Amino acid sequence: MKYIVHSNKNIEQAATDLEAAVANHSFGVLHIHDLKATMNKKGVPFEPECRIFEVCNPKKAFAVLSEDMDMNMALPCRISVWQEDGNTKIGMINPKPMLEMLSTSEKLSQVADEVQTTLTAIIDEAAA
C-alpha cells in the first residue's frame, strides 16, 4: 500500500530533485507543506524534516473526476520527503489500491494504475 525509497541525498537536495522529477513527468506541484515548520509555528516541537508535496496531472485528475466526482477527496496525490533516523526517504501511498478501496470502477482503476506507475518513476528519479 506504501511505496518508500531511501535516498543518500539530504532533505534539501531530495526535495529539489523531486520537484524537477515531477515536472519531467508532466505533473505539477500544487503545494509543498513543510510539516516541521508548521508544527513548530503552532507551538508543537517537531524535529524531523518532512515536506509533503501535493502533485497533480490535470488530464489524469479530469479522467478520475469525470468518472466519479467523489474522488475529489482523494486528490491531489501526495509524495513526501522526510528524514527518519538520519535517513532521507521519499514515499507515497499507492494510488491504485487506495482508489480501488473507494470505487469499483474499472476506468478509475486503469487511471490509478497509470498514475501509480508515473509517481513511482518520479520517486525513483528523485531518490537516485
Give the span between the Cα atoms of 65 and 41, in whole angstroms: 35
Q: 68-123: per-residue pLDDT in tens? A: 999 999 999 999 999 999 999 999 999 999 988 999 999 999 999 999 999 999 99
Task: Please count the residues of the chain.
Answer: 128
Q: What's residue 74's pLDDT?
A: 92
What are the sequence ranges of the domains in the chain? 2-127
pTM, entire model = 0.94
Give the span between the Cα atoms of 99 and 96, in whole angstroms: 5
Q: Name the percent of the chain in helix, strand, coil, to the closest 5.
A: 50, 25, 20
Tell me the CATH class for 2-127: alpha beta
Closest among 74, 71, 79 to 52, alpha carbons compared:
79
Q: 23-57: per-residue pLDDT in tens? A: 999 999 999 999 999 999 999 999 999 999 999 99
Q: What's residue 52's pLDDT?
A: 98
Tell me if 125 sits within 8 A of 33, measured CB to CB.
no
